[in-house]
């Protein structure tokens, strides 16, 4: 088993705080140089839409923060294929380059991780 941590982010960005929580835990783990996989599943893929302008609802743009992942050394970023297609989204519309992954690949990430944070 590898010593990586897999994060599964399943919440849309602004209606609840889970997307921010998940990201904060991952950034903190990254500061401690943990190997991280970050997976966007279900409504979590909405975090990746470009041109979010949440200033009017007094929130910080989640997509813009995700663009800083590479500075934290979080490079293994995946987005679930079915979650994209069932929401009529394509990879081109996303704010960061996430690898499109099918269920089998995500299942393997989970299997090969030390622990899994699912928010």
- Asked if 113 is part of the footprint of another protein (rule: CB under 8 A), the reply reads yes
- Asked if 89 is part of the footprint of another protein (rule: CB under 8 A), the reply reads no
Q: How many residues bind another protein (CB under 8 A)?
A: 34
Residue 79 is encoded by which pair of tokens?
């987005």
Chain length of the chain: 119
Q: How far is the CB of 100 from another protein (least distance, A)?
A: 15
- Asked if 49 is part of the footprint of another protein (rule: CB under 8 A), the reply reads no
Q: How far is the CB of 91 from another protein (least distance, A)?
A: 20
For binding to another protein (CB under 8 A), which residues are involved? 1, 8, 10, 24, 27-28, 30-31, 33, 41-42, 60-61, 64-65, 67-68, 70-73, 82, 103, 106-108, 110-116, 118
């Amino acid at each position: 088993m590898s010593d990586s941590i897999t994060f599964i982010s399943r919440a849309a960005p602004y209606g609840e705080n889970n997307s921010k929580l998940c990201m904060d835990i991952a950034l903190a783990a990254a500061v401690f140089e943990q190997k991280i996989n970050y997976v966007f599943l279900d409504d979590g893929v909405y975090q990746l839409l470009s041109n979010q302008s949440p200033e009017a609802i007094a929130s910080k743009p989640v997509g813009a923060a995700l663009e800083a992942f590479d500075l934290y050394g979080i490079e293994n970023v995946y987005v679930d294929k079915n979650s994209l297609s069932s929401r009529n989204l394509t990879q081109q519309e996303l704010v960061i380059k996430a690898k499109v992954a099918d269920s089998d690949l995500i299942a393997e990430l989970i299997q090969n991780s030390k622990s899994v944070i699912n928010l």
